[in-house]
Structure 1
């Protein structure tokens, strides 16, 4: 047995159970408790291996070289995936056509394109590849975008196996992100077979980075990439209340791709009759931010799922209720609305109708009630699982009659001799009927045909809840 054969058998044994699992599970087996869903991940996958064949892959590595390890382990994986009809494979190689001194930064080629029965062709190609040249990573990613056939029936996955950094001046991070945003492929897997300075920084921004600086880590990284790519993944989201109990529910949850910002899934949370969250099935390849759409929303970043297994995530999202009540609020033309804001923020979080109940995330809020004049509540605390009631005094009515056209202004009187302008009345002869909050007011007016400001008149009045005040400005 040659050294290469020994390496082949050493590497393949720990993968046997995993690949058998994917071959069977990927062929259509469905968990008993799975529910029908329009948002299930695509069942078919295109898996493109991008293999570094630059000169540094000839470096000694335990038994044989880095390239020997890559060839043998990939060959076994490809062979074992023959029985999975849901997976198509492809192979791109770079750095294998020109010697390093030629500095060929376009040395990248799709050696075997995607098809259903190309396993022998990939294995044969792997055996023939000889490391030679540079590491045109960014260029290879750009070219890889052309390797995936058009259409949206498949998930496109890229697994990059390399031992070196970009050597042709490209920006593989920018290329990877641009292609993910264009939905060419999901977040790539990057398996690094060495530990050059700056490697983790460059590869982390490209995709899901794995340090595979020895054979054991290499095998584990490929296991993980395969499990993430092909393993069916379920998830329960526990929405915690104010006592950290998973009892919150019926909230919309948005799953956002952390790399691209794309909303990939929307689910309305559900608890079964025993108070348990149901399981949802999503693609485990991207990292996610989960937005729980409370008021305001709760956002949990950096959600990384374990592929091929069941995941549970807990997010604290306690809600309380704000109740707005006011007798006779219908006296206001168009009704009464309240603007709800977070403290010291100008942006309106929500507009709530008078007489309604609304759930908010437990916290403190500022409330601006659009009565006349406006009523303000500062730092209103809403506790989880509780109802906070704000009662606004009932309005009174002011009827203002003017038999001649006039200029009129209504002020709210405040302490210390201050006044606040409430509104300007219509300047034509008419009857104005106004709903006003209880308080002391001052009406300042002058007939339009009066010849001088000295003819300005002032009337003061008090408005009480449920009472009506009638004013005739010119007594005619």
Structure 2
């Protein structure tokens, strides 16, 4: 008998271990699959100035030769990165000036994987000739990007400003608003200091005042183009502490107005808001989905550092308690701000958190119960008890038309109409004084209507008859 018990115990132990191992295997496979989800691809379009001014000398060589050498080196290193595609657009290289050809721009190498060799070959063949149509080139660049969900980045490398009366700033803003590109990078090669300000509205400007600086700038630009940045969102309570949490957040691109990220705010095991990841190439509008929602505009992210974004989000809790009985089991109520805007439709016996302040509450009872200026305070639960209702039972000798009214402060307010095709019906009503007016369906004289007044008391029923 003892041996039999040991055998059964061993079987139970093996079955338990099998379940544990299967669970661990599932977690390992799930975790691996989660971590191996493909990253969002990045497409980098190099827009290179090959206008006649690029033949000018710049330290060790001509500007075009320095740009050719450093850009060739850069694309070679990028070619080895996963989820990165590159393309090359050039302007000012097809037509000599004069005359001025303000449509002298061309996509020389379209987007694809491993395009470094083709870009390097094209760079070797370039010979600066023409003018500087920056605005038109950016406008045409919109067609260079495939229509999918990649991060689209433009890196403009130039030694001069717009020469064709176009507006590069307006074109850049339009492309960003349409969600075609993120904020461009502009790298100025030996640019006149007086011209630098003209590029601030085009994108993020970097001044390459010499060859070494040019190489450093290109490294910084590529790093920012590829890497996201950490952000901590502090939802501040009424005391200025980042204690509020467990609420959704959406980050919208300020230019395109499209949502870029959705997170659920979390406080980690160390008691601080957990870190999220944002693309530093966009400015954001953050919406925190509290009741009501709160938002913060024009959030700029500094690349390469840990950013902290704070917003006031003090919250308290609202709870409506239903009375005993089953009449109000599925009852709901409206929560409005003091301007009358609907904030939420809440169920009784369910807690919801609201931004601190005052709200008007309208309970969907018969008649509606309105409670104005309900205060919600930090970390406090405001409780409202709904009065226990009563029941009015209506009966008539035949079907007819009947309306029920509540009498409050010498004012008569409509509450409900009874079904026309039923001679018996009931209403659950709040305590108070009421009046019902009934006219048989066969009657055609206003004087044949019957009026009955009655009172509803909590937990009681009353019979209203029309005979």
Contact 2:109/2:118 (CA < 8 Å) preserved in 1? no
- The match for 2:332 is 337
Cα distance in structure 2, aligned partners of 1:260 and 1:134: 31
Identify the residue that residue 440 of structure 2 maps to in structure 1.
Answer: 447
Q: Which residue matches 2:49?
A: 52
Given that 1:195 and 1:211 are in contact with CA atoms closer than 8 Å, whether structure 2 keeps it comes out as: no
Pair 1:267–1:273, CA change in 2 (3 A)? same
Give the direction of change, closer, same or farther, for the CA distance of 1:376–1:95 in structure 2 (3 Å limit): same
Q: In structure 2, what is the Cα distance between the partners aligned to 1:40 and 1:240?
A: 35
How far apart, CA to CA, are the structure 1 residues paired with 2:228 and 2:401? 74
Residue aligning to 2:356: 362
Match of 2:19 in 1: none
Of residues 134, 137, 142, the one that matches 2:131 is 134
Change in 2 beyond 3 A, CA 1:185/1:407: closer
Aligned equivalents of 1:437 and 1:250: distance in 2? 37
Displacement after TM superposition at 1:373 (Å) = 0.7
CA separation in 1, counterparts of 2:364 and 2:65?
Answer: 72
**C-alpha deviations, 1:313-346, integer Å up to 9, x for none?**
22332221110112047325x8321112222234
- Relative to structure 1, the CA distance from residue 40 to residue 303 in structure 2 (aligned partners, 3 Å threshold; closer, same or farther) is farther
Structure 2 distance, partners of 1:38, 1:168, is 48
CA pair 203-447 structure 1, distance change in 2 beyond 3 A: same
**Residue 397 of structure 1, aligned match among 391, 394, 415:** 391
Structure 2, unaligned stretches of length 5 or more? Answer: 1-32
Q: Aligned-pair distance for 1:60?
A: 9.0
Partner SS state of residue 327, structure 1: coil
Distance 1:150 1:371, change over 3 A: closer
Structure 2 match to 1:432: 425
**Counterparts in 2 of 1:426 and 1:212: CA distance versus 1, 3 Å:** same
Say whether the 8 Å CA contact 1:40–1:282 is kept in structure 2. Answer: no
Encode CA deviations 1:35-94: one digit per residue, 9 max, x unaligned: 96688853x544322123445667898x699x73x7636743642563451155443221
1:71 & 1:302 partners in 2: Cα distance? 39
The correspondence of residues 93-112 of structure 1 with structure 2, limited to 5 A, is 93-111=90-108
Q: Which has the higher contact order (CA 8 A, sep 6+)?
A: 1
SS of 2:222's equivalent in the other structure is helix
1:60-71 map, 5 Å: 68=63
Matched, 1:240 2:236: yes
Deviation at 1:96, TM superposition (A): 3.3
- The 1:80–1:140 alpha-carbon spacing in structure 2 relative to 1, beyond 3 Å, is closer
1:292 is matched with: 288
Q: In the superposition, relative to structure 1, how do residues 457 and 89 fare at CA in structure 2: closer, same or farther (>3 Å)?
A: closer
RMSD: 3.7
1:413 equivalent in alignment to 2:407 = yes
2:98 aligned counterpart, secondary structure: helix
Aligned with 1:359: secondary structure?
Answer: strand
Q: TM-score, normalised by structure 2?
A: 0.78
**Greater Cα offset, 350-359 or 377-386:** 377-386
Q: TM-score, normalised by structure 1?
A: 0.77
Task: Note closer, same or farther for the CA distance 1:397–1:112 as it changes in structure 2 (3 Å cut).
Answer: closer
Shift in CA distance, 75/343, structure 1 to aligned 2, threshold 3 Å: farther
Counterpart Cα distance in 2 of 1:339 and 1:38: 45
